[in-house]
Amino acid sequence: MYSESVGVETGASSEARGSLILASASPRRRKILEACGLSFRVVVPEVEEVHWHGDPEGTVTENAARKCRWACERYPLVTVIAADTVVVFNGESIGKPKSYDEAVTMLEQFSGCSQMVYTGVAMGISDQPLQQSTTKSRVHFRELNSSDIEAYFRRVDPLDKAGGYDIDQHSDLIIRDYEGSWTNIMGLPRAIVEAWLTCK
């Protein structure tokens, strides 16, 4: 259904590339597009991301736009979709844990609490104006003890995931409930993609 690019293909032609590019390395975003029944190619943008403290919406909007423009410049006449996601807990943006111990600490802090997940999405073609949207969802965690966290991490690798968890993998072990878009929490709100790409 798709092929993943390796490295940077500067100045690449749109020939034989298909009609859609996902500018993201995220397997969860690939999964969401696959569920739409789309054929697409994956490229991994190399951009300098911003991290604006206290402005998660502005952060994800800007980063999604940078990723999208990067791919549009290199793949003219091909539709590009890009996204960026930030987890916010107690007013602080939470990234990916750098170690297992840090992931454990994150879930210990999340225990019995709620957090917001913001995803910015951008879509464009070559030098045309980008379409952009930002979606937010709220995640409510169960009360977690060390055994709960250990059981979750036996099933899910926390190190490549913002906040150290994936709502699409065994989330019943750690998450009590959520508000808003499930796929937004995964990293790409499907409703936005469906509206823009008319996927079924």
The rounded distance, in Å, linking the Cα atoms of 172 and 174 is 6
Active site residues: 84
Q: Are strands 20-23 and 41-43 parallel, antiparallel or unpaired?
A: parallel
The rounded distance, in Å, linking the Cα atoms of 181 and 137 is 6
Output the 3-class SS for 180-198.
CCHHHHHCCCHHHHHHHHC
- DSSP 3-state of 156: coil
